[in-house]
Amino acid sequence: MYHDLSYDMEYRKMKRTLVERLDQGPVICAEGFLFEVEKRGYLASGEFVPMVSLEHPEALENLHKDFQHAGSDIVEAFTYNGHREKMRVIGKEELLEPLNRAALKIAKKVADNPLDGGEPNLMAGNISNSNIWKEGDNESKIEVHKMFNEMVEWAVDEGADMLIGETFYYAEEAYTALDIIQKAGLPSVITIAPMGVNAMMDGVSVLDTMKELEQRGADVVGMNCFRGPETMMPYLREARKILKCHMGALPIPFRTSKDHPTFFNLPDDDSCTCPAPHGRTFPTALDPLYCNRYEIQEFAKEASKLGINYLGVCCGATPMHIREVAEAAGLTVPASKYREKMENHFMYGSNERIAEHMQEFGDKA
Ligand SMILES: [Zn+2]
């Protein structure tokens, strides 16, 4: 097949690196695909294995396109939990590499086809909490090393522009992820997810972990998942005072609080008549605990003002949340065309065509 090299060079020139983009302003990254794909009907809750890249590739491609339309500049390959250990749990280890490669190829395809035909998005490979990392257990650490290595290798092979290591609750596991990403030579994003004890599980403080990640040369250091705006922002404020590197902030859109810092133990005290059979709101009965879009907007506005340029939303995120974050950071995205227009509402609108008697119904409706 004829290959036009000059086109290739043009194309590469047009595509800025992650750090170039962050130096110039906000960069949006949609995450939290497990929850959204589950809601769309292509993944089992609880088990949470992203088989969707093999079983319903079109559904995954559509999801990426929806987030791209909402303003995501990064298309993150959906390989979260698509690691060797999880595949062993479900007895499908032989599908590990095909799953990873399929997810990476789908992400690449969407990233290479931006909606406006302009600068391509960045495709990100992904590694995350292994769930087997154990303090004082060298064997588990060697195993995690292998797991990360093979996933990073596949991501590089499939043309990733950057690598995201996320949702780490052990400091040392996060450092290990960073080390492996750096050896691959791609830009690195490392975001941590401290559990309810408000420190990393190996005893390192949240701030010290972020400081160490910066010291070790991560391009972006920050937090993702587990925590909503209320319990993530205090750490970000403190970290921003200390860190000089680019920072990332990707909370979950749920109302976590001082008493319940993460979504794992969030109670539903709001007249729930039918609690989940497994006894907790996580992960299938969190719906009434959602932040509204204005709360997400406020979070993103403050983060942006603090100079945190890598922004997104994790588990629970819908394209609407990503649009809110992008707009809060001052961007106009394709989905901005459909931002709320209450002025034309049939009862609450201010448009002169709205009938007066309908406006009067408003409070009784
Ligand atoms: Zn998440």
Task: Convert the pLDDT of each residue in 187-197 to its tens digit.
Answer: 999 999 999 99
Instruction: Read off the pLDDT of residues 202-219 as tens digits, 9 standing for 90 and up.
Output: 999 999 999 999 999 999
Is-contact 131 48, C-beta < 8 A? no
* Rounded distance from Cα 97 to ligand 1 centre (Å): 23
Tokens of 307: 């100079």
Nearby residues of 296 by Cβ (< 8 Å), 6 or more positions away: 229, 253, 313, 321, 324, 325, 328
Task: Say which amino acid occupies 327.
Answer: E
Distance 318 CA to ligand 1 centre (A): 12
Mean pLDDT computed over every residue of the chain:
95
Q: Are 281 and 266 in contact (CB under 8 A)?
A: yes
pLDDT digits (tens, 9 = 90+) for 164-186: 999 999 999 999 999 999 999 99
- Quick check: 232 pLDDT over 70? yes
- What is the CATH number that goes with domain 24-332? 3.20.20.330
pLDDT tens readout for residues 114-157? 998 889 999 999 999 999 999 999 999 999 999 999 999 999 99
Interval between CA 248 and ligand 1 midpoint (Å)? 14
Q: What is the pLDDT of residue 9?
A: 55
Give pLDDT tens digits for 33-65: 999 999 999 999 999 999 999 999 999 999 999
**Which residues sit with Cβ closer than 5 angstroms to ligand 1, an ion?**
32, 225, 314-315
Expressed in angstroms and rounded, the spacing between residue 232 Cα and the centre of ligand 1 is: 13
What ranges make up the beta strands (E) of the chain? 27-28, 74-76, 122-128, 162-168, 188-192, 220-224, 246-250, 310-311
Are 355 and 361 contacting, i.e. CB atoms less than 8 angstroms apart?
no
Question: Ligand 1 centre and the CA of 315: distance in Å?
Answer: 4
Ligand 1 mean position to 46 CA, how many Å?
A: 13
Residue 58 CA to ligand 1 center (angstroms) comes to 22
| Nearest C-alpha neighbor of 188 from the set 168, 164, 205 | 164
Q: What is the whole-number distance in angstroms between the Cα of residue 226 and the centre of ligand 1?
A: 6
C-alpha to C-alpha distance for 198 and 187, rounded to whole angstroms: 28
pLDDT of residue 10: 59
Check pLDDT > 50 for residue 264: yes
Residue 223 has pLDDT above 70, yes or no: yes
Find the 196 Cα to ligand 1 centroid distance in Å: 15
Structure tokens at 336: 């901005």
Hey, what amino acid is at 316? G
Q: How far apart are CA 20 and CA 17, in angstroms?
A: 5
- Phi and psi at residue 76, to the nearest 5°: -90, 125
344 has pLDDT over 70: yes
Domain boundaries, the chain: 24-332
Helices within 193-328 (DSSP H only): 206-215, 229-242, 293-305, 319-328
Ligand 1 geometric centre to CA of 31 (Å):
7
Gap from CA of 8 to ligand 1 centroid (Å): 35
Quote the ligand 1 centre to 252 CA distance (angstroms). 6
In this model, does residue 1 exceed pLDDT 50?
no
> How far does the centroid of ligand 1 lie from the alpha carbon of residue 253, in Å?
10
Other Cβ atoms closer than 10 A to 170: 22
Q: Per-residue confidence at 7, pLDDT binned at 50, 70, 90?
A: low
Please choose, from the candidates 267, 317, 253, the residue with its C-alpha nearest in 3D space to the C-alpha of residue 39: 317
Percentage of the chain lying above the pLDDT 70 cut: 96
* Lowest-pLDDT range of 83-92, 102-111, 310-319, 320-329: 83-92
Letter for the amino acid at 29? Answer: C
Query: How many angstroms separate the alpha carbon of residue 265 from the centre of ligand 1?
Result: 15
What is residue 270's predicted lDDT score, i.e. its pLDDT?
82
Ligand 1 centroid to residue 246 C-alpha, Å: 20
